[in-house]
Structure 1
Amino acid sequence: MKYLLCCLLLACRLSSAETITLGAEDDWAPYSSAVERSARGFAVDVIREAFAAVGVTVNFELLPYARCLDDTRRGRLVGCFDAVPNAMIGSSFLWHDHPLFTTHMNVYALSGSRESGLGARQLEGKTVGVERGYEYGDEFDLDTKIVRRIVDKNVQGFRMLLAGRIQYMAAEERIAKALFTKEAAEFGGKFKLVGTVATPGLFIAFSKTGPDGAKYLQKFNRGYAILRDSGRYKAIEAVWF
Structure 2
Amino acid sequence: MRAWWGLGLLVLSLSLSAQTLRVGMGTDKPPYVFENQARGLEYDIVVMAAERAGFQVQVQYAPMERLHLKLRRGEIDAIATTNKHSGVTAFYSEPYIQYQNAAVALSARQLEIKQISDLGRYSVSAFQRARFLLGPEFQKMAEHNRQYREEAYQIARNRLLYSGRVDVVVSELRILRYFNREVYTQVDVSQPLDIFPIFPPTDYQLGCVVEADCLRFNQGLAALRESGEYAAIERRYAMH
What whole-Å deviation, never above 9, does each CA across 1:178-227 have from its counterpart, x for those lacking one? Answer: 112333343422251431342211111222xxxxx212111101100101
For 2:190 and 2:104, locate their aligned partners in 1 and report how far apart those are by CA, in whole Å.
12
Three-state SS of the structure 1 residue aligned to 2:74 is coil
Extract unaligned runs of 5+ from structure 2: none
Residue type of the alignment partner of 2:15? L
Gap regions ≥5 residues in structure 1: 208-212
Contact 2:21 2:78 in 1 (8 A): no
Match of 1:210 in 2: none
Counterpart in the other structure of 2:196: 195
Deviation string, structure 1 residues 110-167 (Cα, Å, up to 9, x no partner): 1324446532121122111123333333321222333302333233233233333321
Work out the CA distance in 2 between the residues paired with 1:151 and 1:116.
24
- 1:79 matched to which residue of 2? 78
Code of the aligned partner of 1:108: V
Q: Partner amino acid for 2:90?
A: F
Q: Deviation per CA, 1:62-91: give whole Å up to 9, x if none.
A: 1111111111122211111111322x52x6
8 Å contact 2:103–2:195 — kept in the other structure? yes
> Percent same amino acid among aligned pairs?
22
- Asked if the contact 2:45/2:230 (under 8 Å) is kept, the reply is yes
Q: 1:235 to 1:149 in 2, by over 3 A?
A: same
Counterpart contact for 1:127–1:148, Cα < 8 Å:
yes
Q: Tell me, what secondary structure is at the counterpart of 1:28? A: coil
- TM-score (normalised: structure 2): 0.86
CA distance in 2, matches of 1:8, 1:206: 31
Quick one: which of 98, 106, 112 aligns to 2:108? Answer: 112
Structure with more strand by fraction? 1
Q: 1:103 to 1:53 in 2, by over 3 A?
A: same
CA distance change for structure 1 residues 30 and 138 in 2, over 3 Å: closer, same or farther? farther
- Classify 1:7/1:40 alpha carbon distance in 2 versus 1 (closer, same or farther; 3 Å): closer
Name the structure 2 match of 1:230. 227
Instruction: Decide whether the 8 Å contact of 1:33 with 1:40 is kept in 2.
Output: yes
8 Å contact 2:18–2:55 — kept in the other structure? yes
Aligned partner of 2:99 among 97, 103, 120: 103
Note closer, same or farther for the CA distance 1:3–1:164 as it changes in structure 2 (3 Å cut): closer
**CA 1:191 to 1:145, structure 2 compared with 1: closer, same or farther past 3 Å?**
farther
